[in-house]
Amino acid sequence: MPFEIPNDLLREWRSFYKRNEESRNTWLSKNEELIVSKNFKDSFYQKIDHQIPEKLSELKSKHFNDKTNCASRKSSELTLNLISNYQKNLIGGSADLTGSNNTKAKDMNVITSNNFNGNYIHYGIREHGMAGVMNGIALHKGLIPYGGTFLVFTDYCRPSIRLSAIMNIPVIYVMTHDSIGLGEDGPTHQPVEHLASLRSIPNLTVIRPCDIIETIEAWECAINNTGPTILVLTRQNLPMLQKDNRKENLVNKGAYKIRDFKEYDATILSSGSEVEIACSASNKLFENNNLKIRVVSMSSFELFEKNDDGYKNEILGNKTIFAIEAGVINGWEKYIKNENFVGMSTFGESGPYKDLYKHFKITDDYLIEKIIKTL
């Protein structure tokens, strides 16, 4: 039998628009000249202010010269402070974690029930609702929505994140406290499987930067992306790992050699806070064992896979590959053998983050031991 909708139900649903018809007609009447103006569409749908690329380049230079050491959630805030000065159609928010997510730029004003003139939303403890609202804003067009919570709470956002990806719309998710590195809040708040879970969603770009330079570049990638992006950021401080004051956005490539040798013995792939551990292991292996180990910062699987085979082969090389990340192995198997992974296989524990890294053997010493044993 064909599917039938009762006429009374159909009439009810089709009349819902009438509730706001008067408000809509008033708006259209008030803005009639604006809507038909020649430049309305270009200005309303403008994606990126033309000044932003150069301003972000200047911001990178400043922090490279200052050797800025801070959590990537703080790096994100510093970047937002700049972007919001130029990108006036940016609309931010957080699910009751603004102070922890660092998602409110200095010049942003909070939207309230009595004042819609702001550009920042306090969503309350409703991660799924926040993600759903951001989808609606992106579908409406004209505004660039972003919102934050802890990475572990992407579980609550997931249906809407998935819809962002299905519709391929430009929503930016700012997910902080990205690993056991958040410390004392314990396993309920420490994400271990979430990176793998998010990387498995088609059309979703997941970026986990290793320092302030990569965080700035990650934001540039996010605001240029025509689809959804998740920025995965730390609670703990990260050192400056860059050796060159570069203009090129290397995060856009998804992976690049952050420590290199002309002739080398093996490669370590890593992301986020564990790139520092990989670099430390490489330095010690060279000094103490004369082993030359390349380190690749792989901030985004999705962006890396968009490169041509020549670039991917250059990054992965033809020697043994190891990987280290404070999460489960799922997804890394594409690039490494299971036994060459250093990461999590259980839930976390409560304690100071440095103690937790030692407890779970996500350390340069353990990585060194594995490399020496394998080679």
Catalytic positions, written as ranges:
127
How many C-beta atoms surround the C-beta of residue 273 within 10 A?
29
Non-local CB neighbours of 233 within 8 Å, separated by 6+ positions = 71, 72, 73, 75, 76, 174, 175, 176, 177, 178, 208, 209, 215
Cα(281)–Cα(108) distance, integer angstroms? 42
| 3-class secondary structure, 117 | coil
Helix axes 52-66, 72-86, angle to 10 degrees: 150
Task: Please give the structure tokens belonging to residue 57.
Answer: 């380049």
Q: Report yes or no: 200 and 235 within 8 Å, Cβ to Cβ.
A: no
Residues listed for the chain: 375
Task: Please give the structure tokens belonging to residue 253.
Answer: 């490539």
Q: Report yes or no: 257 and 319 within 8 Å, Cβ to Cβ.
A: no
Residue type, 277: I
Residue type, 3: F
Q: Which helix (H) or strand (E) holds 368?
A: helix 364-374
Q: Report yes or no: 230 and 173 within 8 Å, Cβ to Cβ.
A: yes
Task: Please give the structure tokens belonging to residue 281.
Answer: 């292991």
Q: Is 227 exposed, middle or buried (0-12, 13-18, 19+ CB in 10 A)?
A: middle
Per-residue burial over 41-63, b if 16 or more Cβ lie within 10 Å, else e, is eeeeeeeebeebeeebbebbeeb
What's the half-sphere exposure (Cβ side, CA atoms, 13 Å) at 75?
A: 37
Cα(193)–Cα(346) distance, integer angstroms? 9
